[in-house]
Structure 1
Amino acid sequence: MRLKVLIAEDEKNAREGLKLLLRDRPLDIRLAADGEEALQIIRAEPIALVLADFKMPRLDGFELLKRIKEESPATEVIILTGHGTVESARDAMRHGAYYYLTKPVDIYELSTLVDHVILESNLRDE
């Protein structure tokens, strides 16, 4: 079974770049341009992993994280931000983020995190 991954990123080039990075994995990838659109997708179908930009219009990544954890606690969320602070990272992790990465994102680190989520999901499904 292919895991569903949602990329919530307001910058189109970054969104498409993340999609390209993940293209060789057994994933079904959805895209959202803001937090509200991401939340609508999550409410419509089960999503295993969300890659969420911290700064987005309509609903930022932190609020999106909180709502995801309220409505779909099993969904993992990796926060991506160009405006990272120790405090925002701590708050995100405290609210259930799987991980918190600063931009520019290290593609190897992100790839490893995604692979861990895939592995953990496969182990749960066995």
Structure 2
Amino acid sequence: MTYRIEVENTGDAFGCDADATVLKAMAAAGGRGIPVGCRGGGCGVCKVRVLSGRYHACKMSRACVSADDEEQGTVLACRITPLSDLSLRVVGTMARCIEKARANAHMQAQAQAQAQ
């Protein structure tokens, strides 16, 4: 079964098979909504908060995601597989980079529209 994964703070959406990790499915779909690091759960670059939906989480480094964070829905995209459609938000240090890049792209698009 394929589930729809939506990354709220980037607007990206892609399909993810039930047996694939969210990060692997995003990369296979050519997406760039979630930052990619080690792909093994050790670096924390792909940290997301699951806003809605169900998932299975594999073991994650507690240096990246505390037990309390995990209970609140903060996980590593490289270590979860979907059990339903998911809505996520990139969090952590990389979230600021994504939001800044998105704001810059929006300003450039506005400037181009005004120039025409």
TM-score bracket, normalised by the shorter chain, equals 0.3 to 0.5
Which protein has the bigger strand share?
2
What is the TM-score with the length of structure 1 in the denominator? 0.33
What is the TM-score with the length of structure 2 in the denominator? 0.34
Q: Which structure ranks higher in relative contact order (CA pairs < 8 Å, sequence separation ≥ 6)?
A: 2
